Structure 1
Amino acid sequence: MADVEVNSWVDLIDALYDIPQTSLGRYRSSLLYRGVCDSSWSLETSLYRLGPHHASVEEPLLRSFRKYAEPGSLGADSLWMMLSMAQHHGVPTRLLDWTLAPRVAAHFATSNEQRYDRDGAIWCVDVVRARDLLPKRLRDILDREDAFYFSVEMLSGIGSLQELDAYAADGEFALFFEPPSLDARIVNQAAAMSVMPGASLSIAGFLEAHPDLWSRIIIPAKLKWEIRDKLDQDNVTERLLFPGLDGLARWLTRYYGRGPADDVDRAGSEVPREVPGEASPGQPGPR
């Protein structure tokens, strides 16, 4: 599907919330979203980014994660709990993070000010259409549960990566699931995850082969400051999405950091800097 470039905040909201009414009279999206701060980035997993040897180290990575984790810290002893925990804590895995919340995706497309010279993007994937491409045994689970995508409990019958990979005998597919509510971060981010039945399989390649499954919203670099400030006004910030002192510190650093005036000051004069607890003239700070 072709990219959709937005040119204003209103365009972005229209694109994100173009949700048709269901047969029940509700407005429920069938999409999951992934925001990236650079539109040139592909949908590569953290495992794939390890390099050519990534497939051979997947099992040792997970085995070591299970071995050295503090007793009881991994919760239930299941593949899906372990994969979710590993991804959540930064271990390279074949999982990819998504969100049910459009504005959360917009946050991640605009959260890195070092990339404000690049266009951002929000990937949108239709999980209902993706469900139709699953092997029948997996589709039957979703049909029985009347669900768009899986919970980790629904996937309990798949106990190893080898068992998951065996499902690809009849063709590739992308499996989307909702991770357990490990902490407030996952809950507040409305997190979802995707996994492919093979460490080297690419969801980007899968989506390219099925253009009816996805679209991509392009956020021009010139629009990022406006979107970022309006998301802050909506409280879609690091303070909410990464609860705790670390998230608070990240939000404060960005909120009181460089602004567009710093980038366009061509006269050589010093641009007044905001400091925590003070607002620049005419600009209210957080209360």
Structure 2
Amino acid sequence: MIKEIHIDTLEELLPLLTEQEYRPDLDRNRSPYVYRGMSDSSFKMYTSLSRNCKGLQEHLEPAILENFAKYAINDEPSIGHSVWRQMILGQHYGLPTRLLDWTQSALVGLNFAMTEENLEEMDQHDCMVWRINMSEMVDHLPEPYKYAVNRKHSTIFTVDMLKELTGNSLKQYDTDMGSSSMVIIEPPSLNQRIINQHSFFAVVPSGITDIEKFLSDNTEDTVKYIIDKKLRWRVRDMLDQLNMSERIVYPGLEGLSKWIARHYYVK
């Protein structure tokens, strides 16, 4: 089930930014959620691999990863023996992969929802932030995967855990997941961008061709926050005041240039 929540005021935005669960075992509050911001509420969730390769993604994916590893290994030797590391590094640099970006930070998710390449479109359409519950995703995993992640007292997988469970095989992962489960992975801190974005990835198996249908059919705690287009500039400016901008999510000159361009944009 996917619950839609429409946000028309700043006050209605507050629950998105503050939702947590009390953990009696820790006597602390923790968030079981990850978020994905999208600049247009009409957009569907697709991986870059499915957009790039259409129906041939299962056939072309091995060649994409093999060629990336072959030419990129000089820059990052650790990717040589792990398809998961190849995916994560490639995703960062625009390689088509089966990974879908998520973040543990609601602010980062909101930042991406409030970001437009064409600033003239900022108030032309609503945007949205997706939220999924990581504990709920674990509930649908095959038993060996559940055991592996529960043994770590976690809901998140690492590349080493996936490599051990799958034998570094994409086909094995697809067989294990079928069409009713997928893993959320926390990437290694390969660079500052991954760190600043609090990055997580959903590793979408080939059996899941419609991600939103999968969430609708298999989850009870998925939320789609739809934010009214009239709020976008106000929220965008508020995020700047909270030090959440392109300068944070894209550290370096790229983010600085994006931030300056938007800061001096004339409406």
Unaligned runs of 5+ in 1: 263-287
**For residue 165 of structure 1, what is the aligned residue in structure 2?**
174
Is 1:139 equivalent to 2:146 in the alignment? Answer: yes
- For residues 108 and 133 of structure 2, what CA distance do their matches in structure 1 show? 17
Cα offset, 1:193, TM superposition: 0.2
Q: Which residue of 1 aligns with 2:102?
A: 98
1:81 aligns with 2:89: no
Structure 2 alignment gaps of length 5 or more: none
Structure-2 change in CA distance of 1:72 and 1:224 (3 Å): closer
**Of 46, 49, 53, which residue of structure 2 is paired with 1:47?**
49
Alpha-carbon distance in structure 2 between the residues aligned to 1:65 and 1:93? 11
> Contact 1:48–1:200 at 8 Å: present in 2 too?
no
Q: How many Å apart are 1:206 and its aligned residue? A: 1.0
Identity fraction in percent: 33
Aligned pair 1:197/2:205, yes or no? Answer: yes
Q: Tell me, what secondary structure is at the counterpart of 1:229?
A: helix
Residue type at the aligned position of 2:177: A
- 2:216 maps to what in 1? 208
Q: How does 1:164-183 map onto structure 2 within 5 Å?
A: 164-169=173-178, 171-183=179-191
- Which has the higher relative contact order, 1 or 2, with Cα contacts under 8 A spaced 6 or more apart? 2
Which residue in the other structure is 1:30 paired with?
A: 32
CA pair 15-82 structure 1, distance change in 2 beyond 3 A? same
Deviations 1:67-119 (A, max 9, x none): 22252524242121111111111100111000000000000000113432110
- Could you tell me which residue of structure 2 aligns to residue 278 of structure 1? none
Equivalent runs, 1:1-287 vs 2, <5 Å: 1-23=2-24, 24-50=26-52, 51-76=54-79, 77-112=81-116, 113-116=119-122, 117-157=124-164, 158=166, 159-169=168-178, 171-198=179-206, 201-258=209-266, 262=267
What's the CA shift for 1:28?
A: 0.7
Higher Rg: 1
Equivalent-residue separation in structure 1 for 2:100 and 2:72 (angstroms): 22
TM-score (norm 2): 0.92
Separation in 2, partners of 1:136, 1:101: 29
SS of equivalent residue, structure 1 residue 75? helix
Give CA deviations for 1:30-49 in whole Å, capped at 9, x if unaligned: 00000000011111000111
Given that 1:32 and 1:124 are in contact with CA atoms closer than 8 Å, whether structure 2 keeps it comes out as yes
Q: 1:165 to 1:211 in 2, by over 3 A?
A: closer
Q: CA deviation at 1:153?
A: 2.1
Amino acid across the alignment from 2:130:
W
Richer in helix (by share)? 2
Secondary structure of 2:85's aligned partner: helix
Q: Say whether the 8 Å CA contact 2:40–2:113 is kept in structure 1.
A: yes
Return 88-97 or 70-79, whichever deviates more.
Answer: 70-79
The CA distance in 2 between the partners of 1:74 and 1:10, in whole Å, is: 48
